[in-house]
Amino acid sequence: MSDIELKGKVRSAVGKGLFALRTSGKIPAVVYGPGLDALPIELEAKTTVQTLNRLTGSTLVKLSVDQKTYSVLLRDIQRDSIRRTILHADFYAVPTDRVIRVRVPLHLAGISAAVRDFSGILVPVLSDLEVECLPKDLVSGITVDLAPLEKIGDSITIKDITLPPGIRALMDADDTIVTVTAQMAEEEVVAPVAAAVPGEVEVIEKGKKLEEGEEEEGAPAPAKDAKESKEAKK
C-alpha cells in the first residue's frame, strides 16, 4: 500500500466561490465512494500539485479530512486548458474489505537481446493492465522484464508475466504486452521529377518573354506608327 498522504478540509465554497478559493492558494476537490455521499473538500495547492503530478490511477492515497482518514484513488483531474494548472480533483474512497477494479501501469525494464544484438525494434502494445484486487494488495505499477525477448518476432503476453500476490488480470491472457520487430530495410528514395502540366510551362514562358519586352511567337507584329511609315517610303 502506498504511503502517500494528503491533508484537506471540508469546504463550503461552491460555484462562483471557487474562483476566490483558487486565488487563495487552494484546490477544490470531491471525495465519493460506496456508502459515502459526495464530500466537497479543499486542499493546499502547493503540496497537492506536487503529489498529484506523480500519481497514477492505481496509487492508493491516505487522505485526511478534518480528523477522518480515507483510502482514496485519484479518479480525475481538471486542468486549465492554457496554463495547465489544476482546477479540480476527484477522489474515490475505496472500501477496504471489497475487491476493486483498476488499471495498473506497466513498466518495461531490463534488456532485450533481440534489440541489443539484432537491432530489433521494441514495440509496446499495452501500457496498462486491468486488474482486480483488495485495496491492501494494490500496487502503483507492474514491471515487465524484457529479457525473454531474445530474437526478432518474440513477444511477451499477459500470461508470461508474474503478477503481484493478490492481483488477478481481467484481460485475455494471450494479449500481447510488447513485441520485437525487424527494422525496415532502408530504400533509396529518388526524388520524383515534376511532370510538366500541359499548357502551364508554355504560359509561364510566354509571360516571361512578354515581361522582358519580347514579342510572342506567332502573334501579329504591332503596327508601325505613321512617322515610321513615311520614313520607310522615302
Comparison of pLDDT for 45 and 188, the residue scoring more: 45
Q: What cell does 184 get?
A: 525496415
| Separation CA 99–CA 134 (nearest Å) | 4
pTM of the prediction?
Answer: 0.69
112 secondary structure, DSSP code? -
pLDDT in tens, 156-210: 999 999 999 999 999 999 999 999 999 876 554 455 555 544 444 333 333 333 3
| Separation CA 41–CA 80 (nearest Å) | 19
Span(s) in the chain for CATH 2.40.240.10: 4-93
| Separation CA 147–CA 38 (nearest Å) | 46
Q: What's the CATH class of domain 4-93? A: mainly beta
HSE-up of residue 21 (Cα within 13 Å, Cβ side): 22
Q: What cell does 30 get?
A: 470531491
CATH architecture of 100-181: Beta Complex (2.170)
Q: What cell does 105 get?
A: 501501469
Span(s) in the chain for CATH 2.170.120.20: 100-181
Q: What cell does 113 get?
A: 537481446
H helices within 32-136, ranges in order? 45-52, 113-118
